[in-house]
Amino acid sequence: MKREYRFEGAKRGPILPPEPGKTRITIRIDSDILDWFREQVHQMGGGSYQTLVNRALREYVTGNREALEETLRRVVREELASRRTG
Note down the domain range covering 37. 30-62
Is residue 38 in some structural domain?
yes
Domain assignment of residue 51, yes or no = yes
> How many structural domains compose the chain?
1
DSSP for 30-41, written as a single string? -HHHHHHHHHHH
pTM above 0.85, yes or no: no
Question: Over the stretch 44-59, which tens digit does the pLDDT of each residue have?
Answer: 888 899 999 999 998 8
In 3D space, the residue among 33, 72, 31, 24 whose CA is nearest the CA of residue 56 turns out to be 33
Tell me, yes or no, whether 48 lies in a domain.
yes
| Percent of the residues in the chain that have a pLDDT greater than 90, as a whole number | 34
Is 71 domain-assigned? Answer: no
DSSP per-residue codes, 65-83: ---HHHHHHHHHHHHHHHH
